């Protein structure tokens, strides 16, 4: 009954390989080799490669948003001076998103946003994958909107910050640099201050 275990192992392999090399260049046999899960079992768990791709994106979405939220909530900290309670100032919480992007970009093996990459690769040919990408982006955007709303700032700002974040992800991938996160953060601060001056909380 370790089919739950096999599933996780398959998804671990899928995540490593799909994210690292792209989806189309990874064969089901590679998944089997990396995961140790036999082809037969793989096809029991995921009736087609596309299902595995969708499941990979789904699981990554949950974890990605969780890690972001944990950082914003201040549960995780390692930036020099440790401050105890985490981010409580609602505007600081908004800007913390960009700090977290910088951490993400610096992780070894960072190769851009898995959803943007998948969309470029399969958005035109696989509706389920395109749907998964849209769902993830919508969720991220709504999370941002929540943070911005909590700070008493308008929805328009949250949309603009979203664009900055997306631009930073793409650029960090193409330039293979974490710098775009900091630049986006500085731009975000200007926008927040600008909106905050007219409609502060």
Partner DNA sequence: TCGGGCTGAGAACGTGCGTTCTCCGCGGTG
Partner DNA sequence: CACCGCGGAGAACGCACGTTCTCAGCCCGA
The residues binding its own copies (CB under 8 A) are 20-22, 24-25, 111-112, 116-125, 133-134, 137, 156, 159-160, 162-171, 173-175, 180, 183-184, 186-187, 190-191, 194
Give how far Cα 10 sits from Cα of 20, 159, 198, Å: 15, 36, 51
DSSP 70-107: HHHHTS---SSS--SS---SHHHHHHHHHHHHHHHHHS
Give how far Cα 149 sits from Cα of 91, 142, 154, 156, 200, Å: 10, 10, 6, 10, 11
Minimum CB–partner distance for residue 127 and DNA (Å): 15
Minimum CB–partner distance for residue 132 and its own copies (Å): 11
- Give the residue with the Cβ less far from its own copies, 37 or 95: 95
Minimum CB–partner distance for residue 36 and its own copies (Å): 24
Site size for DNA (CB under 7 A): 20
96 closest CA partner among 195, 192, 18, 196: 192
Binds DNA by CB under 7 A, chosen from 44, 66, 176, 177: 44
96 closest CA partner among 86, 106, 109, 84: 86
Partner touching 79 among DNA, its own copies, none, CB below 5 to 8 Å by kind: none
Partner touching 133 among its own copies, DNA, none, CB below 5 to 8 Å by kind: its own copies
Minimum CB–partner distance for residue 37 and its own copies (Å): 23
Partner touching 182 among DNA, its own copies, none, CB below 5 to 8 Å by kind: none
Give how far Cα 112 sits from Cα of 19, 42, 130, 139, Å: 9, 27, 17, 18
- What is the contact surface with DNA in residues (CB under 7 A)? 3, 6, 24-29, 36-41, 43-44, 47-50
């Amino acid at each position: 009954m370790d089919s739950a275990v096999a599933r996780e192992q398959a998804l671990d392999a899928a995540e490593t390989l799909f994210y690292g090399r792209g989806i189309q260049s990874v064969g089901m046999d590679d998944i089997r080799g990396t995961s140790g899960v036999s082809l037969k079992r793989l096809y029991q768990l995921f009736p087609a490669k596309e299902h595995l791709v969708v499941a990979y994106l789904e699981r990554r979405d949950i974890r990605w948003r969780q890690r972001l939220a944990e950082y914003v909530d201040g549960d995780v900290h390692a930036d020099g001076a440790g401050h105890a309670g985490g981010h409580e100032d609602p505007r600081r919480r908004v800007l913390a998103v960009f700090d977290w992007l910088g951490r993400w970009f610096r992780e070894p093996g960072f190769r851009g946003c898995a959803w943007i990459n998948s969309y470029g690769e399969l958005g035109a040919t696989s509706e389920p994958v395109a749907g998964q990408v849209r769902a993830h982006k919508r969720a991220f955007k709504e999370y941002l909107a929540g943070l911005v709303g909590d700070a008493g700032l308008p929805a328009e700002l949250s949309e603009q910050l979203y664009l900055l974040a997306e631009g930073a992800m793409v650029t960090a991938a193409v330039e293979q640099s974490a710098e775009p996160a900091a630049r986006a953060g500085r731009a975000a601060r200007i926008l927040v201050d600008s909106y905050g001056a007219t409609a502060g909380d």
